[in-house]
Amino acid sequence: MVNLVKWVTRQLVHVDRTACPWLIKEFVDPQAEFIFVPTEKVEEISTSAQAIPYDMLNAELGHHGEKCSFDAIIEKYGITDPAVLELAKIVRAADTNKLASIPEAAGLEAIMTGIGMQTKDDYEAIQRASTVYDALYSNCRLKIMRDLHKAEIEKMDRRTQREFLKKLLSEGVAKTADKTGASKWP
């Protein structure tokens, strides 16, 4: 992880601009501070505050082709966690209006719209959204674990399956690191 401290983007956060702070805090910079400003102020604030711009037109950590800013951060910082890569598919579909391509995308877009309408500012929005991304990340981990342990799980009743999967999640059993330190799943 790096300690870059300040990140700046446009105000009035939605899908990508709520997902990116979660990703940055969890996998890049746990001490990150976020600044939300009108679009026309991002470049100025980026320079004066020495902040990294994201989810902006022509920004390195912005949209490129079919990919969104969440993808750009994953690529720039070499995040290889399979559950994050699975979550990226959901964020990308919700943020790029491809809601029908991933089942969770329409729900994520609706939830982020609701959060945006219920919160007093972008700081509160990213705080509330963090719980949603934590849950989606756990769900992505579960999908991967279900595939990895399919034969075992098929022999269990629902209650035993749930306890087995919760134990794997809580113990972090499914997550290991290879020789390069990159996250991978057994």
Whether 68 is in a domain gets the answer yes
The total of structural domains in the chain comes to 1
Whether 165 is in a domain gets the answer no
Q: What is the mean pLDDT of residues 105-114?
A: 96
Query: What does the pLDDT read at residue 183?
Result: 44
- Model pLDDT for residues 9-57, shown as the tens digit of each residue: 999 999 999 999 999 999 999 999 999 999 999 999 999 999 999 998 8
DSSP the chain: -----EEEEESS--HHHHHHHHHIIIII-TT-EEEEE-GGGHHHHHHHTT-EEBSSTT-TBS-BTTB-HHHHHHHHTT---HHHHHHHHHHHHHHTT-GGGSHHHHHHHHHHHHHHHH-SSHHHHHHHHHHHHHHHHHHHHHHHHHHHTHHHHHTS-HHHHHHHHHHHHHHTTT-EE-TTS-EE--
Q: What is the mean pLDDT of residues 111-127?
A: 97
Q: What is the pTM for the complete model shown? A: 0.85
Q: What is the mean pLDDT of residues 157-169?
A: 91
Whether 111 is in a domain gets the answer yes
Copy the structure tokens of residue 146: 């279900």
Whether 179 is in a domain gets the answer no
Query: What does the pLDDT read at residue 55?
Result: 93
- Model pLDDT for residues 130-146, shown as the tens digit of each residue: 999 999 999 999 999 98
Whether 177 is in a domain gets the answer no
The domain of 38 spans 6-137
Whether 65 is in a domain gets the answer yes
